[in-house]
A and B are shown apart, each in its own frame.
Chain A
Amino acid sequence: MKVWRHHAVLCLFIAGCAALAARVVYLALLDKEFLQDQGDARSVREVVIPSRRGVIYDRLDEPLAISTPVVAVWSDPSKRKLSRADINRLAPLLGRDAEQLADHLVRHANKAFVYLKRRLSWTAAERVRALGIEGLHFSEEYRRYYPGAETAAHVVGVTNIDDRGLEGVELAFDDLLSGEHGRKVVLKDRLGATIRDLEYIAVPRLGQDVALSIDLRLQYFAYRELKDAVAGHRAASGSIVILDARTGEILALVNSPSYNPNESLELGFAGMRNRAVTDNYEPGSTIKPFAVLAALETGEYQPDTVVNTAPGYWAVRRKLIEDPVNYGELTLAGIVRKSSQVGISKVALALPERAVFEVLQRAGVGDFVGSGLPGEAIGTFDDSGLRSEVVRATLAYGYGLSVSPLQLAQAYLPIANDGVRLPLSVVKLSQPPQGERVFAAAMTRQLLSMMEGVTERTGTAPDAQVPGYRVAGKTGTARVVVSDGYTDQRHVALFAGVVPLTDPQIVMVVVINQPSGPKISGGAVAAPIFARVAERALRLLGVAPDAQHLIAAVEGRRS
C-alpha cells in the first residue's frame, strides 16, 4: 500500500474535523447573539405574580373577607394531551366528572390554555401533584374566604372568580383592596413549566386592608333574629340597620334572605340584593315624629298641647283619614304614643305648607346617603304636591314618599344626636365626623321623651321595651304600593328606635316586608325584634342602663 493514500484519508478526516470545529466556534462565538435571541424568544416568558387582595376587617379587627392562596390547575392540550387513564385518575381529585372533563378537553384540543379546575385548596392540589401526571400546570391564585358567611354578606359583598369586587364593600373599595399584580420574567420548558425566575419586572403591590364600622357580633345576632322573624311571620324579606348614634358609623346592616358568599353563586340571585340599601319602602307612621318636630319648631305646640281627634275620623277634601278607635282629646305626646292619623293630620295642616317637608329634608330624607355601599336608593320625596292639603296630611303620617331602611336610620340619627346630622359611614372612623346642626337640641330632647311613650304599656309598641333601658321609638305599618295603588293585603311593618333615651348610643331601624302571619303591624312584628337585638347590642357595647326603676333597684340592693 502506498503511504500517501493513508495520509490522504487522515488529512481528509482532520480537515473534516477542523471544518466542523470552525463551525462550532462560529455558532458559539460569532452567531451567539442571534441564536440566544431566538432561544429567548422560545423559552423566556413574562408571567403575572398574583397580588393578594386586602383583608376586610370589622371594627374589632375580626376578619370579614380574607384571601387565601389556592391553586388553579390547567393544561395545554395543544402541546400535550392527557391520556384517558390520567383523566380518570385526575377527575375525582378535582371533583369533576371524568366524562365531562374528557369532553371538555376534546372540545378544546387545539387550545393552549384550558382550566381543569380553579380555586383548588393547597392540600387538594398536592394530591393532584402527587399523581405525577405530565402536562398539568399549577398556578397560584387567591380565593376569597368570608368568615361571616351569610351574616355579613350584604355589607362585605363578594368577588368574582378573577378576584374583582362584585358586590358590597368588595365592589365599593375594589381599587383599594385589589392591589396590583406583579410581573416577572421566567425561563420555561417547551411544555410551559417554569424552570427558573430570571428577573422581576414589578413586584406585586399588596391590596390594602379595609376596616369597616361593622361589629360582626351585632351583625351576627341581628341577622339571626331577623332570619327567625322573617321565617316566623312568613314575610317576603326584612332588614335591620343599626347606627352608632354618636358617629354615624353603621354597626350592623343585615337583610333576610341572604346568601353565602363562600359558595359559588349565580348572579342576580334574589338573596344577593342588599335591600336595606337598595329597596324603597313607604315609611308610614315612622315619619310622624318629624311632623311633631315641625310642630314644636313653630313654638305654638308643646308636648302637652291638646288636639281633639274625635270622632276618630276626619275628612280632608275627599280623603277620609281614620283612626282605629276614637282617641278623643290627645296631647301632642299622646298623638305620638297612639300614632293617631287624625291627630297628626290636624297638626300638620295647622303648620306652614312646607314645615313638615323641610324638617324631613333637613333630616336627610331624599338625600343620597353616601355610606360607601353600592347601589344606594334615593327613594321618592319631592315638594311638588305640597299645596294640596291631602298631600300635606298624608306626608305627616308617612305616605306619598319612600325611603330605604338606611335612609330612615339616617333620618332618625339627628333626633338621637341632639339635632346634629352626621354622614353615615360603613368604614370605621378614627374620630367622629363633622356634623351639621339641623334641629335644636331642646326640641329633639322633647321629641325623644314623647317617643318614649310609644314603648310604654299604653303605646303602640310596648314590645319594644328593653329591660334596664329607656327606649324612644316609633312604629310604622305601611301598605305596600303595587302597580294599581295601595293594597290592603300586603304590608310593611317598621320600627325605628333610639336607645338609651338619656344618652342615645344606637339608632336602629327594623323593616319586615310583607309579613303574612296573623300579626302585621310594626308594633307587633318589628318592635319585638328591635327589643331583642337592642338588648344584646347594648350589653355587648357596654352601655350603662338608664331606666330609673332598675337604677333604684340596684342602688337599693347596695344600701
Chain B
Amino acid sequence: MIRLDAPLMVSWGLVLGFGLVMVASASVAMEAPFLARHGIYLAMGLMGFLFMLCVPLKVWNRTYMMALLGALTLCGLVLVPGVTEEIKGARRWIDLGSFTLQPAEIAKAAMIVYWAGFLARRDEALRESPLPALLPLVFFAALVALLILQRDFGNVVVLSAVLGAMLFLAGLRLRYFGLLVLAAFGALAGLIWMEPYRVERLVSFSDPWASAFDSGYQLTHSLIAFGRGEVFGLGLGEGIQKLWYLPEAHHDFIFAVIAEELGLAGALALMALLGLIVARILHTARTALGAGDKFAGYLCYGVALLLGVQTLINVGVATGSLPTKGLTMPFISYGGNSLIVCAALVGLVGRAQLERDSR
C-alpha cells in the first residue's frame, strides 16, 4: 500500500501555512512584496517536493558523488569575482535575474545526499576503523573553507553537527567520535578567534543589554518581543518590533515576531510542530535502516538532523541562548532558497516512505 506518513504531512502543511501568515505579518511595514514572493517560493517548493517524490532514490544513490561535486562547484562559483555581488559584507548569493541563488542552501542538501551515499556503502567498514571517514572529512573541510570564505559561519556549524551525528549514527566508535567532537570544537574556537566580528557577537550575546544600541541591538529587540508577547501574545499583526526595530523580522528573527504576536502559546506550538516533523523523519529513517535500506535511512537521518539542528539554532539565537548567526527557520522564514530546498528534502523523505511501503 502506497502512503505517506500522515502526521508528518499534516504538521508540515500546518507549518507551511503558518509560515506564510507570519511572513505576511512580519513584512507588513516593508515596501517589497515579500508575501507574494513567499507564495511563489512556496509553490516552487511544492513542485520540488513533488519532483523528489517521483524520482526513485536509487537515482540519487547512484549519483551521490555528483552531489558532492555539485556542492563544491556551486560554493566555489560564489567566490569568483563578477559572478556575485557583495551584500552586507558577504558573498553568498548568485543573482539569476528574478531569483537569487544561495549555493550554501543547495550545498547542504547535496552534502546530505553525498554522506548518505557514502555511509550506505562504507558504514560497516566505519564501525571497524575510523579511516574510511577521512575522505568525506577532507571533502567537508574543503566545503567549510569555501563557506568560511563566504563568511557563512552558521551553515558550517549546522553541517558539522549533521555530519557528526550521521557518523555517530552510522556506528563510528565512541573514542573516535569523541576525538572528532574535540577537533570540531577546537576548529570552531579557532574560527571564532580569527574573525573579530565573531568575537564581538559572542561578547554581545553574553550581555546584549550592555551593547543594546550597537552589536546587541537585534538581540535585545528579539528578547523584548518575547517579553511583550507573554502567554497568548498581542494578537496577530499587533507586534511592533517588526516595525523597523527588528531588521530581520521576516527572516532570521521571525520567531521573535511569532512570540510577540502569538505569545508563549504560539511559539511553543510551532516548536512542537517542527519537533513532530523531525521526530517523524527520524522514525522513517530508523524503519528504513531496520529494513536494510541504508541509503534511504541515512538520507532521512540527514534531513531530520538538518531541519532539527537549524530549528534549534534559529530558536536559540532568537531567544538569546546562542550567539547570533544568520540562519533561517525551516519552512517559516522568508527566503526562497531555504524554503525550496527544505521542501525538496521533505520530498526525499516522502519518496523513502513510498519505497518503503511499496516493498
Contacts and interface: CB of A to CB of B under 8 A. Distances in A.
A21 interface: yes
A134 interface: yes
A484 B224 CA distance: 79
B245 A27 contact: no
B9 interface: no
A1 B227 contact: no
Q: Per DSSP, are chain B's interface residues mostly helix, strand or loop, or mixed?
A: helix
Contacts of A33: 227
B168 A9 contact: yes
A34 interface: yes
Contact of A36 (B227, B244, B267, B312): B227
Contacts of B278: 13
A43 B271 CA distance: 29
A429 interface: no
Interface string B235-253: 0000011011100000000
B268 A24 contact: yes
Interface string A12-56: 011011011101110111011111101100110000000000000
Interface in B252-297: 259, 263-264, 267-268, 271, 275, 278-279, 282, 285-286, 289
B18 to A, nearest CB: 16
A175 to B, nearest CB: 40
Interface size class of B (residues with CB under 8 A): 35 or more
B180 to A, nearest CB: 15
Q: Per DSSP, are chain A's interface residues mostly helix, strand or loop, or mixed?
A: helix
Interface string A335-370: 000000000000000000000000000000000000
B245 A28 contact: no
Contacts of B259: 24, 27-28
Interface in B141-177: 165, 168-171
Nearest to B315: A20
B353 interface: no
A310 interface: no
A14 B170 CA distance: 20
Interface residues of A, number: 37
B312 A43 contact: no
Contact of A134 (B31, B224, B240, B268): B31
A42 B227 CA distance: 14
A9 B312 contact: no
A39 B244 CA distance: 13
A35 B229 CA distance: 10
A35 B316 CA distance: 17
Q: Which 8 A-B pairs have the closest CB atoms?
A: A35-B227, A189-B243, A190-B244, A27-B226, A39-B224, A28-B264, A32-B227, A23-B319
B240 A28 contact: no
- Of the candidates B123, B220, B308, the one having the most CB atoms from chain A within 10 angstroms of its own CB is B308
A176 interface: no
- Of the candidates B240, B308, B315, the one having the most CB atoms from chain A within 10 angstroms of its own CB is B240
A14 B304 CA distance: 13
Contacts of B268: 21, 24-25
Given A190-B244, A195-B240, A6 B319 contact: no
B356 interface: no
Given A16-B312, A27-B319, A10 B271 contact: no
Nearest to B289: A1
B243 A195 contact: yes
5 contacts: A20-B312, A24-B271, A28-B267, A39-B225, A134-B31
Contacts of B44: none
Interface in A159-197: 187, 189-191, 195
A35 to B, nearest CB: 2
A549 interface: no
A39 B289 contact: no
Given A24-B267, A24-B319, A190-B243, A9 B230 contact: no
B206 interface: no
B231 interface: yes
B55 interface: no
B184 interface: no
A421 B28 CA distance: 73
Contacts of A1: 123, 169-171, 289
A33 B230 CA distance: 10
A19 to B, nearest CB: 7
A216 B221 CA distance: 60
B354 interface: no
B321 A20 contact: yes
Nearest to A192: B244
Given A6-B285, A33-B227, 7 more contacts: A9-B305, A10-B279, A14-B275, A16-B308, A17-B312, A24-B268, A27-B226
